[in-house]
Amino acid sequence: METQLDPSKDDLPLMANTSHMLMKHYVLDLDVDFKSQIIEGSIVLFFETGSSCRKVGSSVERACHPRSDETFKIQAFELCHIPVTNASACSSKTGYNDFAVCGKGEKDTSDKNGNHSNRAQASGISSSKKCCDIENHGSEDFLLVLDCCDLCVLKVEEVDVAAVPGIEKFTRSAKLTEGSEELGNLRNQIVHELVTLPADRWEEQLYYYTCCSQAPGCGELLFTTSTWSLEIRKAGIRIPRDFPRAIRICYKTKPEGRSVTWTTDQSGRPCVYTMGSPLNNRALFPCQEPPVAMSTWQATVRAATGFVVLMSGENSAEPIQLQEGIFSWNYYVTMPMPASTFTIAVGCWIEVKRESLATEVMTNDVISLPFSKADFRLVEGGCGHLESPCRFQNPGATSQPVIPHRVFAPWCLKDLCAEILLELIPQCLSAAHATLGTHPFSRLDVLIVPSNFSSLGMASPHIIFLSQSVLPGGSHLCGTRLCHEIAHAWFGLAIGARDWTEEWISEGFATHLEDVFWAAAQQQLPCHEAREQQELKALLRWRRLRDEVQNSEEELQVLRPKKENTGETSESGASIIKHGLKAEKIFMQVHYLKGNFLLRSLARRIGEATYFTFLRKFVQKFHGQLILSQDFLYMLLEDIPEQKGYGLSVESIFQNWLDTSGIPKPLLEESRTWKEGRLAQQVTAEVAKWIQVNRRAKKGSKRKRGQDEVAFQKEFQSKIMSRLCTALHRHVRHRWCELVVKHKYAAGYSAVEKFLWEDQAMGVYLYGELMVNEDAKQQELAHKCFAAAREQMDMSSAKVVAEMLF
């Protein structure tokens, strides 16, 4: 499979051949070294054959078992420190051998281009064109292709799972005794039995995953790396069915790797965290990036004393001291999810706690909504996701409005987080539960990430990254952003897009639901006031969408760019994400805004009570699964058939909203009514008043102004700007900085400089404002700020700003 990329389009390849081999679980065992800025260790991958190698559905169990969160109190990992018994396993650089870690003694086999292989043994393996034709059982060895970049791969080996004590229990069934004379076939059958264990045996499964991950190697595999992939083969193995199902990859990251950011927090202490899109985790560990590769995972991460390891994990890990100065953190996840959702952050974080339980807010209160909970009926037939423990079938979880949560931050932001976040989180969680029902995840960590984080927030399983930029905005800015990220627990994580190009499924839903959650969390607001605020916000979003559509490429404005080909991949499972690496695309809002307006339009047309009743049913049916736009739309119209009589159809929604660029026609019509809202009229009247005041001040402009008058005007402007500074700087610093730039208020330039350093998530657009005025002092300020921040900035942000400046 040779993937052709168009460099001018900044396309992103997904190289993994998931149709041949599908990852079901992975075990990470890593050391974090801040001195070298390298993460080093191993990953053990457990596979099943992909859909092209077996009948569809033949080995996919769709049963679902209730999950008891109480059982998660068991310290599963305390039982799993099993010594490595074979010297061929990767050895740990820190000297202890109760975990399989790669490092010491392994040779760096990279070439001058940074590619790696053990090609001295793997003669002839240079590209996946050598991959066999699985239909005809071709003459070449089968190639396993993984997504991988910016990694130094040291060794790849098959894992001898048959050597694990007690593993014989997975070889007793009658079907395993047939044709299992060869040891390789026996190992594959053991892995098959392990990955297909029923959900109610998740603890046993987790234990044996750990044991197998620490088993000795039983032969090195041939491999080579290219810019975007790691290709692995075993000599003589020509079809996926016979390829090893458990492999260990020893590797280390590179300091310049694009999946993690090495930086310092706001207190000046070192830290590292995963960045999310566009590369996701392929520069953190070799993986299968396509969403269809939904897997579970567990990880052991070691770091020096004083560091805290936070991660996507169902358990609130406690550190275990391995030796003086080294602590180990263990996490696991039993809900299958794409590898792109994995997140890790290591730093000197401080847990923010309440000083008194008396100040606890709404941890047990239930927020009520203006529609009946009796309408939130379960979908008959149970769950439709892959076999895994499920909170949606656990009565204790379904009635839990607020899940356990923790807040972590740099030391200097501890008090501010205590003041704002500790009160907001339970309110937002309770509002989300009142709207959609069961929280998909059993717990939540919220981390205030360093100032170079390129977004206001990012949601991952069990953990949310928040930018410090939302904190000075008070409860409203922080609360709405929290609601947005919490909404991703349902849309984006528990329910994901099967095709990455349909970003609106994640961001459109989260933008739409943030308003609903926040309105419910603000119970003190009467319904009509909450609706007025939403109308005004809709008008502001409409203007933002209009401006973006006028100033962006049409191709980037389409919510379903692949149209009828959405969800399709190549025969191997590989695909290309168009514009996936385009830096500007990361800062575009079109998927957020058009998606939000589509859902808002549907809710208004159907009736909000009916719409949210349906939405909860949709979550019940599709949680734990990947969807396309039509899955949502077809179920909506089938559940509410009367809408078909009003001309609402999947085809018309595609045509008007999803498959075309520009502003959707229905939105153009609706937007006219927002200008007539009471709050919008108040703002318009206030603006008109000040325009009139300004005109009166300029009435005498025909006569030549004296020096005293000019001086007075400057003094008057200075006083006004000074008062605005006092009013705005505390809560809406970005608005204050916009005014400083617009009015060339030199006394405020220091605030702009501080903002561009501390609030990089919101500062990118401000560079453009500084340059567009063509003012020498402002352009000099822009260049000065960029020079100071460039090394710390997210690469996409730095690229966009550089294009503005140079």
521 closest CA partner among 483, 470, 557: 483
First-to-final CA distance of the chain: 39
Domain harbouring 596, CATH code? 1.10.390.10
Q: Are 11 and 577 in contact (CB under 8 A)?
A: yes
Residue scoring higher pLDDT (105 or 786): 786
Distance separating alpha carbons of residues 614 and 636, to the nearest angstrom: 7
User: In sequence order, what are the beta bridge partners of 323?
Assistant: 326
Q: DSSP string spanning 771-800? A: HHTT-HHHHHHHHHHHHHHGGGS-HHHHHH
Q: Are 453 and 464 in contact (CB under 8 A)?
A: no
Is residue 241 located within the same domain as residue 167?
yes
State percent of the chain over pLDDT 90: 54
Quote the pLDDT of residue 90.
62
* Domain count across the chain: 3
Whether residue 117 is contained in a domain is answered as no
Q: Are 297 and 372 in contact (CB under 8 A)?
A: no
pLDDT band at 644 (very low <50, low <70, confident <90, very high): low
SS3 of residue 558 by DSSP: coil
509 closest CA partner among 521, 523, 494: 494
85-99, 194-208, 428-442, 689-703: segment of lowest average pLDDT: 85-99
CA angle centred on 101, ends 95 and 103, rounded to 5°:
75
761 closest CA partner among 450, 347, 343: 450
Interval 560-604: pLDDT, tens: 999 999 988 889 999 888 888 888 888 889 999 999 999 999 998
Whether residue 697 is contained in a domain is answered as no
Interval 362-393: pLDDT, tens: 444 445 444 444 333 344 457 889 889 999 99
Task: Rounding to the nearest 10 degrees, give the CA dihedral for residues 77, 83, 88, 89.
Answer: 20
Quote the pLDDT of residue 135.
38
Is residue 736 located within the same domain as residue 621?
no
Distance separating alpha carbons of residues 505 and 592, to the nearest angstrom: 9
Quote the pLDDT of residue 381.
53
Q: At what angle do helices 608-622 and 590-606 cross, to 10 degrees?
A: 120
Is residue 174 located within the same domain as residue 46?
yes
**Contact partners, residue 690, CB within 8 Å, separation at least 6:** none
Q: Is residue 71 scored above 50 in pLDDT?
A: no
Listed in sequence order, the DSSP H helices in 117-266 are: 174-177, 183-195, 202-213
Q: Is residue 359 scored above 50 in pLDDT?
A: no
User: In sequence order, what are the beta bridge partners of 43?
Assistant: 28, 249
Predicted model pTM: 0.86
**Letter for the amino acid at 585?**
K
Residue scoring higher pLDDT (551 or 63): 551
Burial of 479 (0-12, 13-18, 19+ CB in 10 A): buried
Using left for φ > 0, alpha for ψ between -120 and 50, and beta otherwise, residue 406 falls in: beta
Quote the pLDDT of residue 635.
94
Work out whether strand 144-147 and strand 229-233 pair parallel, antiparallel, or are unpaired: antiparallel
Q: DSSP string spanning 26-90? A: EEEEEEEETTTTEEEEEEEEEEEE-GGGS-TTTT-----EE--GGGGGS-GGGG--PPP--TTSP
Q: Is residue 74 scored above 90 in pLDDT?
A: no
Average pLDDT, stretch 626-654? 87
Range of the domain at 733: 728-805
pLDDT band at 94 (very low <50, low <70, confident <90, very high): very low
Mean per-residue pLDDT over the chain, rounded: 82
Q: Which two tokens stand for residue 590?
A: 């079109």
265 closest CA partner among 475, 481, 467, 416: 467
Q: Is residue 709 scored above 70 in pLDDT?
A: no
Q: Are 32 and 603 in contact (CB under 8 A)?
A: no
Is residue 39 located within the same domain as residue 149?
yes
Is residue 738 located within the same domain as residue 656?
no
Whether residue 711 is contained in a domain is answered as no
Which residue, of 656, 676, 696, is where some domain finishes? 676
Is residue 734 located within the same domain as residue 619?
no
Quote the pLDDT of residue 502.
95
Whether residue 683 is contained in a domain is answered as no
Is residue 152 located within the same domain as residue 214?
yes
Is residue 672 located within the same domain as residue 737?
no
Quote the pLDDT of residue 55.
46
Whether residue 230 is contained in a domain is answered as yes
Half-sphere exposure (Cβ direction) of 11: Cα atoms closer than 13 Å: 14
Is residue 775 located within the same domain as residue 660?
no
Whether 485 is a known active-site residue: answer: yes
Q: Is the dihedral of CA 100, 102, 104, 105 positive or negative?
A: positive
Interval 713-722: pLDDT, tens: 555 455 554 5
Q: Break the chain down into helix, strand, coil percent, rounded to 5.
A: 45, 20, 40
Is residue 435 located within the same domain as residue 538?
yes
Is residue 528 located within the same domain as residue 634?
yes
**Contact partners, residue 62, CB within 8 Å, separation at least 6:** 383, 384, 385, 386, 387
34-38, 216-220, 254-258, 724-728: segment of lowest average pLDDT: 724-728
Interval 509-544: pLDDT, tens: 999 999 999 989 986 677 788 788 888 889 889 999
Which residue, of 269, 293, 317, is where some domain finishes? 293
**Contact partners, residue 75, CB within 8 Å, separation at least 6:** none
Residue scoring higher pLDDT (67 or 213): 213
Whether residue 702 is contained in a domain is answered as no
Q: Which two tokens stand for residue 409?
A: 């931050």
Interval 288-332: pLDDT, tens: 999 999 999 999 999 999 999 999 999 999 999 999 999 999 999
Interval 751-774: pLDDT, tens: 899 888 888 878 888 888 898 878
Domain harbouring 223, CATH code? 2.60.40
Whether residue 310 is contained in a domain is answered as no
Whether residue 75 is contained in a domain is answered as no
Which element (helix H / strand E) includes 432? helix 414-436
Is residue 618 located within the same domain as residue 758?
no
Among residues 485, 507, 514, 758, the one annotated as catalytic is: 485
Tokens 């994995």 correspond to what residue? 342
Q: Is residue 414 scored above 80 in pLDDT?
A: yes
464 closest CA partner among 487, 433, 486, 438: 486
Q: Are 413 and 421 in contact (CB under 8 A)?
A: no
Residue scoring higher pLDDT (122 or 67): 67
Interval 599-638: pLDDT, tens: 999 998 889 999 999 999 999 999 999 999 999 999 999 9
Average pLDDT, stretch 483-492? 98
Residue scoring higher pLDDT (706 or 309): 309
Quote the pLDDT of residue 180.
42
Q: DSSP string spanning 99-132? A: S----TT----B-TTS-BB-TTTSTT--SGGG--
Q: Is residue 194 scored above 50 in pLDDT?
A: yes
Quote the pLDDT of residue 630.
96
